[in-house]
Amino acid sequence: MLRQLHALFQLPSTIGQKTSADSLSVVFASDSTGFPTTPGTTATGSNQGTGRVAGSALTGSYATVYTATFDVKWIALLNSCDDVIVVSLDSGTTAFVTLDVGKSLDVPLASLGLKIASGVTIQAKHNGAAPTAGALTVSVIG
């Protein structure tokens, strides 16, 4: 039966057999995939983007990390700062989440029936003590 599957799906004859290898072929995504290639920009022709702010640049007031240029349906936050960060998804009106040191958060907005509208800013501030290292990185998909 395995031979029939090989023939039907044109599978290599080594499938199902024990093999050994000393190397692994890896294919990396290129700029043609549409993923952002520079932090703080949106790749041409895509609904994806990233924003980043150094922890040492954060104060007790909200600072813009990313401005949506399309309706955002998914967002990922990563706090690599050496202190706690507060993030707002509504241009600094309300605190959405407090991210502890080294924590990340993925929010599938669309599956929750939500979105961040184009033009809205994602902002951050420190939570009482200013970070001296690291950054807050925001990645979005529309």
Each residue's pLDDT tens digit, 125-137:
999 889 999 999 9
Q: How far is CA 127 from CA 65, 97, 138, in A?
A: 16, 11, 18
d(CA 76, CA 51): 11
With 70 as the cut, is the pLDDT of residue 85 above it? yes
* % helix, strand, coil for the chain, step of 5: 10, 30, 55
Please give the tally of structural domains in the chain: 1
With 50 as the cut, is the pLDDT of residue 113 above it? yes
Length of the chain: 142
pLDDT one-digit tens code per residue, 19-65: 444 433 333 333 333 333 344 444 445 689 999 999 999 999 999 99
Pairing mode, if any, of strands 104-107 and 48-54?
unpaired
Residue 9: predicted pLDDT: 41
**CB of 126 within 8 A of CB of 86?**
yes
**80 domain-assigned:** yes
Residue 119: predicted pLDDT: 94
Domain with 74, as residue range(s), is 48-142
Residue 13: predicted pLDDT: 47
Task: Find the CATH number of the domain harbouring 57.
Answer: 2.60.120
With 50 as the cut, is the pLDDT of residue 78 above it? yes
**14 domain-assigned:** no
Write down the pTM of the prediction: 0.67
In this structure, how many other beta carbons lie within 10 angstroms of the beta carbon of residue 48? 18
**17 domain-assigned:** no
Q: What percent of the chain has pLDDT over 70?
A: 68
